Amino acid sequence: MPKLRAIGIVGETTLTLLILILIGLIALDIVIQVTCCLYHRGGSQTTAAQGQVSIRLTGSGSTFIYPQMREWISRFQAENPTISIIYNPTGSGTGQSQLLKEHVVDFACSDPPLSHKQYEEYKGKVLQMPVIVGAIAVIYKIPGYRGPLNLTADAIAKIYLGKIKYWDDPEIARLNPRARLPHVVIKVIHRSDASGTTEVFTFFLHKAAPSVWPTNLVGKAIEWPVDSTGRGLGAKGNQGVAEYFKRLDSAIAYVELGYALENNFPIAAIRNAAGYFVKPSSETMQAAIANALRSGLLPSTPLADWSNALNAIIYAPGKDSYPIVSFSFMITWTRYPHAKAEALKKFIKFINTIGQEDIIEGYAPIPPELRSINLKALSIIQGS
C-alpha cells in the first residue's frame, strides 16, 4: 500500500504539472496572438503617428538666430507634419564645423558668412543665405543709476581692453554729461565659445575704432585683454551671457537684442557712423539694411562669396542706422539625398516667404531683394 500511495502521489503531481503546462501553453498562445495583433495594429498606428514624420533635418550653429529659428521650426512643422527639424544653438563656429568638417548636421546657421578662404575651399558646394537681420545690444548694469547711457566704439573698446575700469571714467562721463555715474568697478562679460556674435561685435569695434581695437582682436574667439585684469568674465552662448549678467551688480556685456528685450536689460545707445547715438530697434536695423543694399557689396546668388556682407551692414552710413547689425546666414550643401533635399527646399521656401511675415521682437525681416536671392537655392539644391 505505501508503494501504491507513492505512485498515486506521483501521478497526481504529474497530472497537476501537465495541467499547469497546458494552461501555460494556452496563455502563451493568447499572448502571442494578442501581441501579433497589437504589432500589426501598432505598426499601422506607428506609421500613422510617425507617418507624420517621414524625414528629419538637423541643424546647429548661431545662438543669435535661435529664438527666431525656434519660432520658424514650430510653425513650419505644424504645417508640414511629415518633416521634423531639430536645431541646436551651439554657436556659429561649431555649427560651421559640424556641417563642413564633421558632416553631422544638414544645415548650419552663422552670423558672419563664410570667410573668403572658406568660400574658396567649398566654392560650388555650399550655399549661403542671409535669412534674418538682428542687432547686438550693449547692455549695462550700473549701481544706483537707471538712466540712459551713451557709448562709442572707442569707449567700449577701452572697457574690453581693460583700460577703462570705472563707470565714472572721464571718457564715459563726457558722453553722458547729465548722468551721475558711480565710482564702481565694471565687470566685463564676453563670450567664451566660438561665436558669430563675438565676430560681429569685434568687427564693429575695429571698423569704428581702428586705432584702438586692432585686427588681431577680430574673430569668433579671441584672447580678451580685459581678462588679464581679473575683471573679464566668459560665458557660453547668448543665453549664458544673459544669465551671467543677471547675477552681477555692476557689468557690461554684448548680447543679441532679443535676449536683452526678453530680460528687460538696459540697452546703451551707440554712436553710429553719422555721429548720432542710436539704440537698436526694427527701424534702426532696417535703416542699416537699406544702406547695406546701396553699398553694392552684397552678391546676387547664394553660391557667391558673401564675406563682404559684414562690412556692408556693420557701422553703415545714415543717421538712423544702428551700427552693430548683422545678417544671420543659413548655410547648406548643394546636394543631399532626394528626400532631404526636398524637405530642406520646403523649409528654405517657408523661411523666405511666410517666415518673413512672422518675425519675433528683436529681429527685422530681410528685404524682398534678399528673399529673391535666397529663393534661387530652390533650383540649385539637388537630390540624388
Q: What CATH code is assigned to 55-133+287-383? A: 3.40.190.10
Q: What is the pTM of this model?
A: 0.80
Task: Please report where in the chains the cell 557667391 appears, as a residue.
Answer: 304
**Whole-angstrom Cα distance, residue 107 to residue 127?**
10
Residues of the chain with CATH 3.40.190.10: 55-133+287-383, 136-275
Burial class (CB in 10 A: 0-12, 13-18, 19+), 276: middle
pLDDT for 157-188, tens place per residue?
999 999 999 999 999 999 999 999 999 999 99
pLDDT for 291-309, tens place per residue?
988 888 899 999 999 999 9
**Whole-angstrom Cα distance, residue 34 to residue 36?**
5
N-terminal to C-terminal alpha carbon distance within the chain: 86
Residue 81 exposure: Cα atoms within 13 Å on the Cβ side:
7
- Supply the pLDDT for residue 52: 64
pLDDT for 79-120, tens place per residue?
999 999 999 999 999 999 999 999 999 999 999 999 999 999
Q: pLDDT truncated to tens, each residue of the chain (384 aa)?
A: 444 333 343 444 444 444 444 445 444 343 333 333 322 323 322 233 344 668 999 999 999 999 999 999 999 999 999 999 999 999 999 999 999 999 999 999 999 999 999 999 999 999 999 999 999 999 999 999 999 999 999 999 999 999 999 999 999 999 999 999 999 999 999 999 989 999 999 999 999 999 999 999 999 999 999 999 999 999 999 999 999 999 999 999 999 999 999 999 999 999 999 999 999 999 999 999 999 888 888 999 999 999 999 999 999 999 999 999 999 999 999 999 999 999 999 999 999 999 999 899 999 999 999 999 999 999 999 999
**Whole-angstrom Cα distance, residue 75 to residue 95?**
23
CATH 3.40.190.10 fits 136-275, yes or no: yes
